[in-house]
Structure 1
Amino acid sequence: MPYCEVDRYQNGDKWEGVRLFYRRYGRGVTKVLLVIGLAGTHDSWGPQIKGLTGSLEPADDEPEAQRSDEESGDASAAAAEEGGDGDGIEVCCFDNRGVGRSSIPPHKSYYSTAIMARDALALMDHLGWKKAHVFGHSMGAMISCKLAAMAPHRLCSLALLNVTGGGFQCFPKLDGQMLSLAFRFLRAKTPEERALVDLETHYTKEYLDEKVESCTRRTILYQQYVKGISSTGMQSNCGFEGQVNACWTHKMTTKELDTIRSAGFLVSVIHGRSDIIAQLCHARRLAERLIPVARMVELHGAHLVSHERPEEVNNALMELVKATKSMIKPEEWSSQPENSSGVILMGFEHMRNIVKVMKPVRVAAIES
């Protein structure tokens, strides 16, 4: 199984290594690093792996000599640095520290989005990737933001799915439903109990109630979730608390956002309009702060919009890759009108108008 040692930490009198479990899919000079969110494992990216590479068959067990010729030579290296001229995409996804088959450092101080961004950089070094398109979901999007600010020269592009700014922005909209879900999540001790909560927080009710042959999508997904959680085991309390600490302490400074905005790569902020975990307003605000390099893409879906609307998400990701290859100017990238497919592409002028409207609304809410 492929592992990469990315860090070391002190455990009593001993030093322990932090190893990440990872998988590679597809072949090509275009490299894509997928960074998953809180409590998720690498296989949560299934729809995107399939959409980007055309296969769910891991390629990481192949000897290097058997890998594609297009991955060798100076011309290929140069093409990869420019976003990947040539056919094929190679994807790498991994289990963050604290979950799945990766190491679980014992204290929450060993978890932050900056530390986990360095993990991702170490993995890129291990793979021999000079640059990559970095796509992150939820906590993984926070990690990807840190990575982009830490090493902007290593990114071809950046996609942030269902992202927030960390800290208080991690709090979902509090109502009776969310309080009930939070209570059930903390009490879940079995894969079956955890699966029931996950379904309600990850998807819209409309999607779960859709008929698929003789049953509902809820029934099918429930069985898949129970199987998936059972195969990897319930996340340890230590790993969960550490990853929560990473989300809670995450913050992007103005300087870091300026670094991303001036780095020269394009950004997509992709969000489900019905997300009850990561609120849409925070994603909009982040996209607005990354003008003019950012495009805001809103889809009908919830927190796992990448599963609920995989075709639209995959199209948005591929558009980002293609725009990078064709060296589209930031202003051309971000100023896109609403289209007819249900996907709302918000240009920077539109986002500025939204922010202008939101500011007095927030002030009025505070004053009341």
Structure 2
Amino acid sequence: MVTVAHNPPRIAKANGIDICYDTFGDAQSEPLVLIMGLAGQMVQWDDAFCVRLAARGFRVVRFDNRDSGKSSKLPGKRLTWWEALKALVLHMPPAASYTLRDMARDTIALMDVLGIRSAHIVGASMGGMIAQEIAIAFPKRVRSLISISSTTGNPDLPQPSAKAIALLSDPQPTDREKFIARFKRMWKVLRAGRFPEDEALDRSRAELVYDRGVNPVGVDRQIRAVLASGSRKELLRTVKAPTLVIHGTADPLVDPKAAQDTAASIPGAKLMLVAGMGHALPIRMWPQIIDAIDKHAHQASAIAARVA
């Protein structure tokens, strides 16, 4: 088995905030930055997943987004039902203390701290939206783009299932056992199927997330950022980074049509639909997802080297 170095979490001063991050793999390997989704923490890119990616020849960087985990908590009020309804139905975005573009700048600033001029950018769900923003606004910093379980923000796309919306709109409990119970219920819905390997880890995963710090108001601020940022569909036509769009056919939160829309919006993008995958990265599906990321990223680097 390949031994992979894991550098412990550190705090970087970047874009005017504290960003908690850690890295896996050789510092001289190709940089690959993982961006987690709404309310997620960097540890929700499982250690074992990161180790497997690093073993493919990457320096894997994961971090807590602002308002999550051990990164900075920002000011701003909770999102009301009325504001959310106006955004989704009337396309009237709420006021937001920051946007997805600001979160993209966080990523770039962290790369600056780490001395990374360009990287393969991988984002899941809201992280995919942030990754798209990076490819739009900072094209020279992106070696390749991998957008997972995400969307362009196109308001004409199908909305999440009622069950998924009801679960995610339920406020995060601050009591430890209630948080763990909600975490388990939520991921059972988002995985959209029976995945015993993941279900067996749900409690320990929830404990890790809770013990690192939960921030219910921060989740609302991240939702505000998503709603206030609008559609990227037209701007994505300017993206030149080699792009891979990965999406589950059973996703109950972000309809697979969103993946088709993303791939159609980015010139030359490839689409990979994973049969039976919901809005999660189940252990059972890691091999095909890691293979796809590995192949796409290294092909992009090889093409760039030939052009240079």
TM-score, with length taken from structure 2:
0.81
Q: Which residue of 2 aligns with 1:223?
A: 203
Q: Which residue of 1 aligns with 2:223?
A: 244
Shift of 1:232: 1.5
In the superposition, relative to structure 1, how do residues 323 and 248 fare at CA in structure 2: closer, same or farther (>3 Å)?
Answer: same
d(CA) in 1 for partners of 2:282 and 2:226? 20
Contact kept in structure 1, 2:234 and 2:265, CA below 8 Å: no
- Aligned AA for 1:326? A
Q: 2:180 matched to 1:192? A: yes
Shift of 1:273: 0.8
CA RMSD for the aligned pairs? 2.3
Q: Which residue of 1 aligns with 2:53?
A: 52
Q: 2:24 matched to 1:25? A: yes
d(CA) in 2 for partners of 1:224 and 1:308? 18
The C-alpha deviation readout for 1:272-327, integer Å capped at 9, x for no partner, is 11111111111111111213x21100112111136451111101100112211331
d(CA) in 1 for partners of 2:236 and 2:253? 23
Q: Which residue of 2 aligns with 1:178?
A: 164
TM-score, with length taken from structure 1:
0.68
Q: Which residue of 1 aligns with 2:86?
A: none
- Aligned to 1:320, which of 296, 303, 306? 296
SS in structure 1 of the partner of residue 18 of structure 2:
strand
Contact kept in structure 2, 1:203 and 1:308, CA below 8 Å: no
Q: Any stretches of 5+ residues in structure 2 without a counterpart? A: 1-8, 78-95
SS in structure 2 of the partner of residue 33 of structure 1:
strand
Q: 2:20 matched to 1:40? A: no
Alignment of 1:153-302 (within 5 A): 153-166=140-153, 168=155, 171-174=159-162, 177-178=163-164, 180-182=166-168, 185-186=170-171, 188-189=173-174, 190-207=178-195, 210=196, 217-218=198-199, 220-234=200-214, 236-253=215-232, 255-260=234-239, 263=240, 265-291=241-267, 293-300=268-275, 301-302=277-278
d(CA) in 1 for partners of 2:158 and 2:97? 20
Shift of 1:164: 1.5
SS in structure 2 of the partner of residue 3 of structure 1:
strand
SS in structure 2 of the partner of residue 20 of structure 1:
strand
Higher relative contact order (CA 8 A, sep 6+): 2
Contact kept in structure 2, 1:142 and 1:250, CA below 8 Å: no
Q: Which residue of 2 aligns with 1:133?
A: 120
In the superposition, relative to structure 1, how do residues 188 and 196 fare at CA in structure 2: closer, same or farther (>3 Å)?
Answer: farther
- Aligned to 1:3, which of 11, 17, 34? 11
In the superposition, relative to structure 1, how do residues 308 and 165 fare at CA in structure 2: closer, same or farther (>3 Å)?
Answer: farther
Q: Any stretches of 5+ residues in structure 1 without a counterpart? A: 9-17, 55-86, 329-368
Larger-gyration structure (1/2): 1
SS in structure 2 of the partner of residue 326 of structure 1:
helix
- Aligned AA for 1:159? I
- Aligned AA for 2:222? Q
Q: Identity over the aligned pairs, expressed in percent?
A: 24
SS in structure 2 of the partner of residue 305 of structure 1:
coil
